[in-house]
Structure 1
Amino acid sequence: MDEFDIEINPNVAINNSSTTLPNKTTTEQLKINENQEPILTKKELFAWYLYAFACEVYSVVSISSFIPLILEHFASEKGVTSIDRTPCKTAKEGLRCVVNIFGFWIDTASFSLYTFSLSVILQAITTISIGATADHGAMRKTLLLNFAFVGSISAMLFLLIPSGSYIIAGILTIIGNVSFGAAFVCFNGFLPVIVRNHSDVRKISNEIKNYIIDKNKTHEHDTQIEDDESTLEDRSLLSSKDPILINLKENLLKTKDRISAHISARGFASGYFGGIILLIICLLISFLLRSTIYSLQIGVFLSGIWWFLFSLFVSKWLQPRPGPPLFLNEESKIRWINYVTFSWRRLWKTILQVKKLEMTFRFLIVWILVSDSCTTILSVALLFAKTTLNIKTPGLITLTLIAPISALISTLLFPYFIKLSVKKTTILLLFMLLFIPIYGCLGLILPFGGLRSSGELYFMAVWFGFVLGPLQSYCRTMFAELVPRGRETEFFALYAITDKGSSWFGPSLIAIIVDVTGEIRYGFLLLFVLIFLSIPILWFVDEKKGKEDAMNSSIDNEDII
């Protein structure tokens, strides 16, 4: 067996008491055994990338592109004009079309926005219910695959929906979006674990522990080492003023940042690449079927097939990387209730730790504003293109294809050409994102420009994709470093809640704006406010303090409830 570092044994049960080695510790005692967490392999990392390649097609093709158009079309087929309630199909073009939803008349252009708003609320409830549980045992991988298969099947069922069945389409959209979000929480929860077990990070961790051991031997002190590798490493680093340890700490943090940014960027790039491939296929299908709405249904169906098939390979190659087991009431006949209540209790306990994790929660406020802005831009752009600029289906598909291509390129290039810190790069990207609502608002005050032609909208799609790709990647990278060890999925559930759970806000306000004014362009004013507010908040996020607070709040330093 090779020399290695000491860490939690992920494959055997542990309890709340600490398991320790004998007091006298030597380098020879730092031996890895077959039960210890292995170093990240290329196949395992490929499997993580592959899931992004599998699931992001549903986001890029279905959620962001086709489903809003399908919902709007189905609602319009059953809709009537707001003036005299004649069917929209036989009415003159340009009249406002509304549809009755449970006794309320809403604009057909708003139906998809309300549907997504409801889905993200349910998604927030679901992610809270699984977040903390997924960090224990092998639940993270199990939940990821289960939600992936449910979501992919709901997408495949779109092929069977008869025209005009907007309620059925809305229900399947909700199921698919909730499943996608829950699975993606588990997927993101793997990122800090993968980075922690990367060979470069583990090498520096070994150097730190060996230095501590040698130093203790020199001073003839007996050392008691806990099973968790990061507990020994991080506590020593935080309390020591040894210049060698300080340098090792800085090297470790820089290495983690570099590897996390690299892996996160490639993960997003893999997803965009998959989405681009399927969008091209769907574009060809649209031309062959002469741009019918059924071609969009086929696209959603194909995204479900894609998601399902590639997830099968992920199930085989992605290692579960299990955490400590839960000690719940095993006598309960409905065990899942225990898991759900555990996750909600953990959430409450985490909320009470706001002061201990101030920077982590401050960043989550930033993410609320950023993610809501990006989600709203996507929703507004497609509806604006269809209802205001009257761009037909092939043009809409082309529009949705431009953004991920631009995002793929910028996501891969940004880490190589922009040498700023993760935080400063994110702030730069937010200023770049402000250009979109500023330009859109020009249409309210000037007789020219301000998104009055399809060419302007295509350029804006390039710009949005160029900013969105690296922005998502750098935000995920920054948050991953602010997450306590052993609580990865729990905190990425909060990340998803502030992402999708808050994204009902922007689309809902846009929907209200459309219903009240009949003009979707006013939504750009809201987008400007959301993006602008995020910049000063992010500026006051202290990365160093946030990382140190996360080290002290790892699950290894507290009991499992």
Structure 2
Amino acid sequence: MWAGVTDTAQRRREQRGWYFYDWACSVYSTSVLTVFLGPYLTSVAESAADADGFVHPLGIPVRAGSFFAYSVSLSVILAVVVMPLVGSAADRTGRKKPLLGAAAYTGAAATTGMFFLDGDRYLLGGVLLIVANAAQSVATMLYNSYLPQIAPPEERDAVSSRGWAFGYVAGSLVLVADLVLYSGHASFGLSESAAVRICLASAGLWWGAFTLVPLGRLRDRRATGSRATAGHGLRQLVATVRDMRRHPLTLAFLLAYLVYNDGIQTVVSQASVYGSEELDLGQSTLIGAVLLVQVLAVGGALAMGRLARTYGAKRTILGSLVAWTVTLGAGYFLPARAPVMFFVLAGGIGLVLGGSQALSRSLFSHLVPPGKEAEYFSAYELSDRGMSWLGPLLFGMTYQLTGSYRSAIISLAAFFVIGFVLLARVPVRRAIGEAGNQVPERM
């Protein structure tokens, strides 16, 4: 029986507050991480580079074009170290809201500080990116953990979907404003650099301002695991992985997902760098392309959901991985200064982006043993973050070794090819049965 808030009015109030955290933080993902920071930080690093095109953080030679990708990788590694500790503290004390606030405002402050990222301050940009990205991961983990407490099982899908929709709407609105500011920066008396820095900083201000809403409406619950110790989060993760060994087919699916999802996340985070540095596209084109992805991702998810009802989730996901591979291949051959073709490519990404992840999550839910949903999904989220540094690392290393962004982008096809092979080998119907769940008619 669900042990959450039974008072309907109070539950609805918390749910509405919960939606607003997605509204607050999604702007960071779209405006900062996806659109502006990659190309801008790369240009700052290039201005600080030596004659051979290298910068030297801590004395380590790094090709300027790889600096952003390496910084993303480091931020994910930091998040993976911090998340179990913060999660354990939240479970042990029951004071989840102060931890959410601390993580959110750390990320918002670092993002706002990007206003001062000019000249050759690439190290400042790298530090701010690492802090902001890790803080966002920690805050998102805490935010997601509220869902079982504020929504009974029969409401959970709808509540989760509304939060997701809030985030996409906020990201789209702010991107439109960013496009106006960036495109008309001269008429506002701003340089191009100043316009970008304002767009970056405003995302941090937006994040901080709207985080006040969930912090005002969500409430802490008394801790149920009073015996938890400081290392409980790490021990629980280890225990869950050990339990997964009793369900090797569930673990096999999780491995396939982690591989191809890493490819998805890397394409999203590095596409703007590829578009600006290799394809010589302007920032306005990149913003428009991301807006197109935002809009089509919603429709694509709905369309892939319908396909899954006809062909099954596994086949639909496999089809999406083929589409991702074809899209990367097309991106490799895309001519420079061809914005229309880039928009077509962005449209392809948008159509498969939302559905790939939504169907993967729903398929995994069938492979979780009854009564262990929260435990398995905690490992799912933490493992997801743990793998998502490999794609940016491969992208950065490929560029460092070859000096070609085309080679770097096509290298990511390996994640989709390997993920396809691993997923194809998972007998999903048998995996569902061995997990102790009823096998749906079509999978």
TM-score (structure 2 length as normaliser): 0.86
Tell whether 2:55 aligns with 1:55.
no
Shift of 1:180: 0.5
Tell whether 2:383 aligns with 1:495.
no
Superposed CA offset, 1:226-257 (max 9, x none): xxxxxxxxxxxxxxxxxxxxxxxxxxxxxxxx
- The residue type paired with residue 170 of structure 1 is G
Q: Which consecutive segments of 4 or more residues in structure 1 shift more than 6 A?
A: 484-489
Quickly say closer, same or farther: Cα 1:363–1:191, change in 2 above 3 A: farther
> Which of 251, 271, 280 is 2:167 aligned to?
271
Give unmatched runs, 5+ long, in structure 1.
1-5, 11-35, 83-96, 200-258, 329-337, 444-448, 552-561
> Which of 376, 387, 391 is 2:281 aligned to?
391
Bigger proportion of residues as helix: 2
Superposed CA offset, 1:355-390 (max 9, x none): 234344333212321221012212442222112221
Q: In structure 2, what is the Cα distance between the partners aligned to 1:407 and 1:299?
A: 23
- The residue type paired with residue 542 of structure 1 is V
Q: In structure 2, what is the Cα distance between the partners aligned to 1:545 and 1:516?
A: 41
User: Mapping of 1:304-323 within 5 angstroms?
Assistant: 304-320=204-220
Q: In structure 2, what is the Cα distance between the partners aligned to 1:412 and 1:49?
A: 20
Q: In structure 2, what is the Cα distance between the partners aligned to 1:173 and 1:193?
A: 31
On the 8 A contact 2:103/2:136 being kept in 1, the answer is: yes
- The residue type paired with residue 115 of structure 1 is S
Larger Rg: 1
Q: In structure 1, what is the Cα distance between the partners aligned to 2:146 and 2:233?
A: 18
> Which of 50, 55, 74 is 1:118 aligned to?
74
On the 8 A contact 1:192/1:480 being kept in 2, the answer is: no
Tell whether 2:295 aligns with 1:405.
yes
TM-score (structure 1 length as normaliser): 0.69
Q: In structure 1, what is the Cα distance between the partners aligned to 2:435 and 2:113?
A: 46
Percent of aligned positions that are identical? 25
Tell whether 2:139 aligns with 1:183.
yes
Please name the residue that 1:287 is paired with.
183
Please name the residue that 1:350 is paired with.
240
Give unmatched runs, 5+ long, in structure 2.
438-443
Number of aligned residue pairs: give it. 430
User: Mapping of 1:377-456 within 5 angstroms?
Assistant: 377-412=267-302, 414-415=304-305, 419-420=309-310, 421-441=312-332, 443=333, 453-456=338-341
Aligned partner of residue 352 in structure 1, secondary structure: helix
Please name the residue that 2:428 is paired with.
542
Shift of 1:119: 0.8
> Which of 127, 131, 136 is 2:87 aligned to?
131
Q: In structure 2, what is the Cα distance between the partners aligned to 1:360 and 1:185?
A: 22
Shift of 1:162: 4.1
Shift of 1:483: 5.3
- The residue type paired with residue 142 of structure 2 is C
Superposed CA offset, 1:332-370 (max 9, x none): xxxxxx43x121222222222222343443332123212
- The residue type paired with residue 207 of structure 2 is W
Quickly say closer, same or farther: Cα 1:121–1:44, change in 2 above 3 A: same
Shift of 1:511: 1.4
User: Mapping of 1:37-52 within 5 angstroms?
Assistant: 41-52=11-22
Shift of 1:188: 2.7
Quickly say closer, same or farther: Cα 1:320–1:177, change in 2 above 3 A: same
Shift of 1:417: 6.9
On the 8 A contact 1:158/1:301 being kept in 2, the answer is: yes
- The residue type paired with residue 304 of structure 1 is G
Q: In structure 2, what is the Cα distance between the partners aligned to 1:284 and 1:268?
A: 25
Shift of 1:128: 2.5
> Which of 168, 171, 174 is 2:124 aligned to?
168
Q: In structure 1, what is the Cα distance between the partners aligned to 2:218 and 2:39?
A: 35
Tell whether 2:24 aligns with 1:68.
no
Please name the residue that 2:441 is paired with.
none
- The residue type paired with residue 79 of structure 2 is Q
Q: In structure 2, what is the Cα distance between the partners aligned to 1:423 and 1:195?
A: 28
User: Mapping of 1:254-269 within 5 angstroms?
Assistant: 260=157, 262-269=158-165
Quickly say closer, same or farther: Cα 1:124–1:101, change in 2 above 3 A: same
Aligned partner of residue 164 in structure 1, secondary structure: coil
